[in-house]
Amino acid sequence: MRGSSDDVAIEGFRTIGYELIEQNPNIDAIFICCSSGTAAIGIYNGIKQLSERPVKLNIVQTTKICPIASVFDKQYSVTDRSLANAVSDKVAKRKSELVDIVNLTGGSGWVISDKELVDAKAELVSHRINLDGYNAYMGFAGYKKAIANGIQYEYPVIIISGL
């Protein structure tokens, strides 16, 4: 099974959406580091199934590889490398489905630079949240970029993945 192309993989991530809504039914946004989009679609489907409240999906990718987030975020310069290496799907087979979901939910895409990653890590470490590797800071960096662009959420969830 290849998660980036096998639709069964999406179903495996649906349960994360269930767990998130069961733990906090007031979630109004999700920030998730996205490579192929399988996890993001699965989590969204789980949330949509259990929640009547709209939850805005926010896709976070790097300046090196950003075929989905770049549809929404134009405030970046392309780079040939990134401190975060979990975003590796340049093909983005699920791009049109994800763009539709992001548009439907009123979410966005966020393209993150190495500086934004370093700043996100520094902020979390200052609060004694020290994660393993830069991939884990992608969702928080996307959240910080949303705030910098004047977007506020009351109950956002930041998915820490790509460890």
Q: What is the pTM of this model?
A: 0.93
pLDDT (tens digit per residue) in 51-69: 888 899 999 999 999 999 9
CATH level 3 topology of 7-150: Rossmann fold (3.40.50)
Exposed/middle/buried for residue 33 (C-beta within 10 Å: 0-12, 13-18, 19+):
buried
Residues of the chain with pLDDT > 90, as a percent, come to 78
Return the higher-pLDDT residue of 160 and 78.
78
For the chain, domain boundaries: 7-150
With a cut of 90, say whether residue 143 has pLDDT above it: yes
Check residue 157 and give its pLDDT: 97
With a cut of 90, say whether residue 161 has pLDDT above it: no
Return the higher-pLDDT residue of 136 and 3.
136
Check residue 149 and give its pLDDT: 97
Exposed/middle/buried for residue 29 (C-beta within 10 Å: 0-12, 13-18, 19+):
buried
With a cut of 90, say whether residue 119 has pLDDT above it: yes
